[in-house]
Structure 1
Amino acid sequence: MSDIPEITNNNDSIKINGMYQDWFLDYASYVILERAVPSVVDGFKPVHRRILHAMKDLDDGRYNKVANIVGHTMQYHPHGDASISDAIVQIGQKDLLIDTQGNWGNILTGDSAAASRYIEARLTKFALEVVFNPKTTEWQLSYDGRKKEPVNLPVKFPMVLAQGAEGIAVGLSTKILPHNFNELIEASIKHLEGKKFKLFPDFPTAGIIDVSAYNDGLRGGKVRIRAKISARDKNTLVISEIPYSTNTTSLIESILKANDKGKIKIKKIEDNTSSSVEILVHIPSSISPDKTIDALYAFTNCEVSISPLSCVITDDKPHFLGVSELLKISTNHTVDLLKAELEIKLSELENQWHFLSLEKIFIENRIYRDIEEEETWEGVIQAIDRGLKPFIKHLKRQVTEDDITRLTEIKIKRISKFDLDKAQQKIEALEGEIEQVKYNLANLITFAIDYFKNLKSKYGKGRERQSEIRLFEDIEASKVVIRNTKLYVNRKEGFIGTSLKKEEYVTDCSDIDDIICFTESGLMMVTKVDTKTFIGKNIIYTNIFKRKDKRTIYNIIYRDGKTGHNFMKRFSVTSITRDRAYDITQGKAGSKVLYFSANPNGEAEVVNIQLRQKKGLKKLKFDLDFKDLAIKGRGVKGNIVTKLPIKRAELKEEGVSTLKPRKIWFDDTVRRLNTDERGELLGAFKGNDRLLIVRQNGIVKTIIPEITTHFENDVIVLEKWQPKKPISVIYWEGEKQRYYLKRFLIEQTDKEEQVITDHPDSQLELISTDYRPQIEIEFIKQKGKDRKPNQIINAEEFIAIKGIKAQGNQLTADKVKQINALEPLKHELDDMESKDFNDESENNSSHESQVSLF
């Protein structure tokens, strides 16, 4: 019982035995090593390391509820869920390792994040690339011995300097300030090149910083941080950036406190902060704005000082190291990790080369025939070993029994289809890769520099310096330009993204679009536009996904993997859970999509089916018409096409829409189309119907009406296009100084055409889309002559329909005062076009019958 304190009533003193003497040191060591201070190796505290490890366990590319991540982390972290949840929010708010979704709080206003059950997270692409590699990770048992966790994560980046760290232990604390992402990479490159570098903090709240006393982040250093304040006018100051470690609430409280103490004089404060800081400080007209700015710095939190203290765990002990030394250690550790990865890759490549060479020898020299008469396993092994010996002198290592065993596992089908040339090409390709890896190992520093440069090019955009260093250099925080981006697809490997610029271009997109993808195996997924996302191998279709889109109909024919029967179905996708995989087949292994089409207006095509040759089968070809099939949900089984194997399914005839024509309006206020009955009704549009657009500059074109289309302010004609309806144009020809009239039809629907001459003085005067337009010409009165009476011209009689590039006929040689459009003459087709849109809709309603061919 020596561990129990001995208390004597007759004496005021209490004797403290071994429990307090030993356990206090144990507790202090535990708090320092296991809770408060980050490791120099990966830059993480244990809780952060375990969170990231747990997120990697859960990672499938989709978001996970933070509550789920917290529960998973508790398998590794022997503490409460609140501490884990708070740590996740801290990492997420730094916007480097965790991709967040939901309300994660606001570091500017101090608002806290929503409860963990409401917010979601996943690892960023950067984290997946830089933080994890199981092949180079040292593992240990978790606290209860049930799981394995990393001793340190193999981080190939100075993470502790990028994120910063703060913690209080027993008799010890650490405060490492965050630094700029790109500057850390540049410093690492300089270190590898043997050049000198300097590092200074950079804060997510921006502000102006004085780092003259930074002292490389060691004890005794200091960083002064000021808010960015400017005078909007003589009575209003604007605070647009705040110091690190403050928020708008605490900043305003300090200003009000200083005002109450008589340090400064203000009238009122307005906080308009949302995504960026805007605090308006209204001051009396008798107070100088410049003096008030100085007073704000002197008496409020508009200026704060932070004393850094760079302490990390090295060799299981706390050490005080400057940020320059931390960067050097991290960079050197990155080089070691890159070397280890290259060595592992080299070993794997050499093993592949070894076995491919053995396989080539085994098949090329028909050694497999030597085992035909062997009756025992030992005899088989020995026979192969004897057969290989004359051909293995060029191999780089001994042939083991495991190698021979692998040779015996080669299938006869593979042997029969073995191609020596292809095998040799694979071996030579591997030799090229091996040489490249060896070259990288021999030039490891150059390889590491290229690695850091690649990180900067991939992840450095949008991470420019935010805090302005006033004393050393004036650095303006660059604004991120919002620009259009393009979507690409690697169909075979199953990747989509905006960074795959060498792959197949799909469409223009924005970073807020969702993308829908279908694979040959029948997988469907909707995901957000990203730089690179894995969907599944053999992508057969990808495009922008529109929620609640009932007009885009997908027609498919697929083979069921279980029964081998072939089915067809039509369906729309109106709503979906992002990043969730859906089966458009029955989900059986081996299922395959044989035919697929995406139809923006519900088109139903005719498909020709060719069956595989089979004894007794006479009819090998037949047609399917998708219009005979009802449109149902994506989860339906579909209608059976045939139980026989299909050799090929090919488009035979383009289809027409089976949906009702869609009525489209034009809202002139926002210059956009809509289906919500706002603005002018343009007509009821079927799948192939187009809009006619004529601009004031004489550009004529037709387009498929899309709700997202934006129209310029100079559009003078916007209507449903009638392909057989002539367009009549009167224009002023700049070179000849005369008016011309021309009539034409649009023949190239996807091409912009200029209908006036390209002379700089040419301009469009009047345009009509009536069948038989009439115009009135008013003439200028000539000196000494009576004014010529107005002339009425029937355009149909004046000029025949010619090509769009034709100059047309001169309208008149006299000087014209004005040209007016009159009521057009009656045409027999006018009555047909004026019929109600509902009649057209009813005549084109979708069929509800079903089809079963076999």
Structure 2
Amino acid sequence: MSEDNNELINEQDDNSETITRVTGMYKDWFLDYASYVILERAVPAIEDGFKPVQRRIMHSMKDLDDGRYNKVANIVGHTMQYHPHGDASIADAMVQIGQKDLLIDTQGNWGNILTGDRAAASRYIEARLSKFALDVVYNPKITEWQSSYDARRKEPVNLPVMFPLLLAQGGEGIAVGLSTKILPHNFIELIDASVKHLKGKRFTILPDFPTAGIADFSNYNDGLRGGKVRVRAKISQLDKNTLVITEIPFGTNTSSLIDSILKANDKGKIKIKKIEDNTAANVEILVHLPSGISPDKTIDALYAFTNCESSISPLGCVIEDNKPYFVGVSEMLRRSTDNTVQLLKSNLEIKLSEFQEQWHFASLERIFIEKRVYRDIEEQDTWKGVIKAIDKGLQPHIKHLKRAITEEDIVRLTEIRIKRISKFDIDKAQQKIDALEDQIAEVKHHLANLIDYSIAYFERLKKEYGEGRERKTEIRTFEDVDATKVIIRNTKLYVNREEGFIGTSLRRDEYVCDCSDIDDIIVFTNHGKMMVTKVDSKTFIGKDIIHVAVFKKKDKRTIYNMIYRDGNKGPTYIKRFAVTSVTRDREYDMTNGNKSSKIWYFSANPNGEAEVITIHLRQAGSIKKLKWDIDFADVLIKGRASKGNLVTKYSVKKIELKEKGVSTLKPRKIWFDDTVQRLNVDTRGELIGEFRGEDRLLIITQSGMLKTILPELSTHFDNDMIVLEKWIPKKPISVIYFNGEKEMYYVKRFLIENEGKEESFISEHPNTQLEIVSTDWKPMAEIEFTKERGKDRKDNETINLEEFIAIKGISALGNQLTKDKVNQVNILESLPYEAPEEVNAIDIEVVDETVESSDSKETSEDKPNPKEDDSGQGTLF
């Protein structure tokens, strides 16, 4: 090694720090290595979508292709003639291509992308090129060639791929200081997008994963850096204690998914009984739940705490002109489509040239034989004389040719056998020339209408190879799962009220509730202080704790009723408030802020209940009235920092609860957002109705199942749901269905008797089909009859379902709709009917439920101010 290559210059400054400068070979080697890895190993080329090893595998398979399967070990060995690396890297790359089921027709155990099982050894498995690969990947006539690494053979610089292959297969690689992650897209959608691009229309393409699943592409960002794709497993409820996972997120397999579920269970974030993996050709993972565990909340918990939901960050990076190029998937498709058009053009131009050459020689051959030019060479003694004689004999007959005659043309004419000349058929020769002229005209037409030709090419690919390649991944917008609402309560919370401690380790003290280790806890003390803090083993809040509970952020329905004394001897105030947002571990004062304030009465009400309390004053001076009642329903709900209304300026002896209250909040309005298939209270989607504590939802599915449930926002809904509305118990359900066993249409009307129970209301015969279900009071239907041979078609018949059949049990067969053959049944507009009004308690309006910032504080006393009566004994409400 040269002296320059070993040069290390060490400089020491005053602080004895050593600075090492790298020069010579060391300076260049790293850059050379990084460039090599980027260009030759990790990142695909934009022209054909292949990495070098993939391109060499495809080239080797074409070398070996004879229509039969080859041992993968044989293909790997052949590829090593072109690839400078070992057999292991080639075999792994080939298995990855084969598992994508597009370019390679595989035979044997090639592994399983669903379970993560590896492929068998390369000597046991076989492969050959697929028909699609032979169609779109190869064309030696328009391929640019280069020497292999050892200069013994020729290999393609890029394969002439006439399809957006990189987007169809996806690509992933990690280089030095650079990476790429191009997600796979749907075969049919890519062709449709290419056609739209050629027609000058806009298009959008989104990934489609071989593992199926559900995906939210809201932030896909065209596959560029900074984008994000959220993918979820498809989970459904098999029964009340069993969940089934039928599709998994891209980038996972059943083994890693099950491991993540077991870890979440061990950490107490979810609670399961056992897991069964029945995956074979399709994914089937059964998750058995203990009794009493909500399936809907468990589904959300699986998304929140396991690999059932994952996030993928795409990064579009390709090689162009031997440099990395960051590009979005839309631009990739445009570039690939334009490249395909150019390749098709080059192929047509080559065909045109070939046809023209064939036409030229066929015309010469006809002249040579028909005009007996071959006789002119009989008297020639030299080769030059022969050439000259033929040339002279052809000249009078070649005015219609497209180009001049060359010596090579004349040499080819001399090679025609005597037997062929003797059997020459002028008509057949002319037919051949005419056919070539038709082919030339056709190719010229394609070149003149190149875009239309390219569109037809893509449509042919879709027709021939698109069957069975429909989209697998369902596109959906996700709603974020709030982990605090779905996590299993895996620990217990205790409180020492007198000393002011809360925590999970105070097992000798008072038990409060079950909680999780990610919950926040809200605490009130007798001195009017409030704090929200995270669950911990032991936390000091302040002495004389009067209320401890799990805190729900943005909870407007939990209302706190409070009466407090302002200062040591100040007046007594009453207030009602909600706590929606605070700063964690900050102490808030719920009183007016004066020292020695004390809470006389406090209650926390999860649904805004307002109780009646009795005030007792101390005997002092001329006070006449020492006792009276106050109803919290008469107090307006305001901000937590409000001062409150004056109760009395005299000394309070005690306060007693006289009567428990009912909710003073309005019924909760609930909407259904069809985009995310979830309930919400944020006005997104369609308003279902206003719900009180015991109101339920009615759900009916196309498969003939119904149930009523409480409207919990965590509820999941099946894809075949056809009715979702507020359940009115006295409102009948009307059904028309085809009974598969009796092969007749039946009508039934019934009421739901078992609330909360899932029941079937049609027979379970495989041919039974639900036609119409109505929850209107007076539904109407129309019957269209089938025309029978030799008879006139019977007129349509309208029936009133209320009059057609009385209300019976849900399991009743019902009445036969008609004896005639039915073509179809249509639902009509229902008859007008005034439904009986529901009788409900009168609600007190909530005038102030605004969400305050954590730092807001009211300084003025609430208005209107209460007035005391003549005796000064208290507030008049």
The TM-score range, normalised by the shorter chain, is 0.5 to 0.7
Distance 1:219 1:10 in 2: 41
- Partner residue, 1:28: 34
Match of 2:461 among 455, 466, 471: 455
Q: How does 1:114-263 map to 2 (within 5 A)?
A: 114-263=120-269
SS in 2 for 1:388: helix
Distance 1:261 1:161 in 2: 40
AA in 2 matched with 1:5 = N
Q: How does 1:264-663 map to 2 (within 5 A)?
A: 264-471=270-477
Q: What displacement does 1:471 show?
A: 3.5
SS in 2 for 1:381: helix
AA in 1 matched with 2:444 = K
Q: What displacement does 1:262 show?
A: 0.7
Distance 2:434 2:49 in 1: 41
Does the Cα contact within 8 Å between 1:214 and 1:223 map onto a contact in 2? yes
Does the Cα contact within 8 Å between 2:11 and 2:20 map onto a contact in 1? no
SS in 1 for 2:319: strand
Asked whether 1:4 is paired with 2:43, we answer no
Post-superposition CA distance 1:135-161 (Å, at most 9, x none)? 000000000000100000000000100
Distance 1:273 1:471 in 2: 27
Asked whether 1:50 is paired with 2:50, we answer no
Distance 1:470 1:185 in 2: 22
Q: What displacement does 1:9 show?
A: 9.4
AA in 1 matched with 2:57 = I
Q: What displacement does 1:20 show?
A: 1.6
Does the Cα contact within 8 Å between 2:83 and 2:149 map onto a contact in 1? yes
SS in 1 for 2:279: coil
Post-superposition CA distance 1:284-321 (Å, at most 9, x none)? 11101000000000000000000000000111110110
How many residue pairs match? The answer is 474
Does the Cα contact within 8 Å between 1:38 and 1:45 map onto a contact in 2? yes
Distance 1:16 1:256, change over 3 A: same
- Partner residue, 1:100: 106
SS in 1 for 2:56: helix
Distance 2:271 2:277 in 1: 18
Distance 2:27 2:136 in 1: 43
SS in 2 for 1:99: strand
Distance 1:341 1:236, change over 3 A: same
Distance 2:218 2:11 in 1: 61
Does the Cα contact within 8 Å between 1:167 and 1:173 map onto a contact in 2? yes
Post-superposition CA distance 1:703-738 (Å, at most 9, x none)? xxxxxxxxxxxxxxxxxxxxxxxxxxxxxxxxxxxx
Post-superposition CA distance 1:84-105 (Å, at most 9, x none)? 1000000000000011111000
- Partner residue, 1:812: none
Distance 1:138 1:3, change over 3 A: farther
Larger C-alpha radius of gyration, 1 or 2? 2
Structure 1: 5+ residue stretches without partners: 473-854
Distance 1:249 1:2 in 2: 55
- Partner residue, 2:69: 63
Q: What displacement does 1:14 show?
A: 4.2
Distance 2:375 2:40 in 1: 62
AA in 2 matched with 1:145 = A
Distance 2:81 2:378 in 1: 54
Q: What displacement does 1:65 show?
A: 0.8
Distance 1:8 1:39, change over 3 A: closer
SS in 2 for 1:76: coil
Post-superposition CA distance 1:4-40 (Å, at most 9, x none)? 3335899755442221211111111111111100000
Post-superposition CA distance 1:226-279 (Å, at most 9, x none)? 000000000000000000000000000000000111110000000000000000
AA in 1 matched with 2:333 = L
Q: What displacement does 1:2 show?
A: 3.8
Distance 2:51 2:301 in 1: 40
Does the Cα contact within 8 Å between 1:187 and 1:199 map onto a contact in 2? yes
SS in 2 for 1:4: helix
Distance 2:20 2:222 in 1: 46
AA in 1 matched with 2:234 = K
Does the Cα contact within 8 Å between 1:157 and 1:331 map onto a contact in 2? yes
Does the Cα contact within 8 Å between 2:68 and 2:128 map onto a contact in 1? yes
AA in 2 matched with 1:4 = N
Q: What displacement does 1:416 show?
A: 0.7
- Partner residue, 2:577: none
Asked whether 1:80 is paired with 2:86, we answer yes
Does the Cα contact within 8 Å between 1:54 and 1:73 map onto a contact in 2? yes
Distance 1:468 1:15 in 2: 55
Distance 2:6 2:408 in 1: 64
Distance 1:447 1:230, change over 3 A: same
Does the Cα contact within 8 Å between 2:10 and 2:21 map onto a contact in 1? no
Backbone CA RMSD of aligned residues: 1.6
Distance 2:58 2:245 in 1: 36
SS in 2 for 1:440: helix
Does the Cα contact within 8 Å between 1:6 and 1:14 map onto a contact in 2? no
Post-superposition CA distance 1:158-214 (Å, at most 9, x none)? 010000000001100000000000000000000000000000000000000000000
AA in 1 matched with 2:198 = L
Relative to the length of structure 1, the TM-score reads 0.55
Distance 1:188 1:213 in 2: 23
Distance 1:28 1:208 in 2: 37
Distance 1:10 1:325, change over 3 A: closer
Q: What displacement does 1:3 show?
A: 4.8
Distance 1:392 1:16 in 2: 74
Distance 1:50 1:80 in 2: 13
Structure 2: 5+ residue stretches without partners: 13-17, 479-877
Does the Cα contact within 8 Å between 1:5 and 1:14 map onto a contact in 2? no
Distance 2:134 2:207 in 1: 25
SS in 1 for 2:180: strand
Distance 2:294 2:22 in 1: 65
Does the Cα contact within 8 Å between 1:236 and 1:283 map onto a contact in 2? yes
Distance 1:9 1:426 in 2: 83
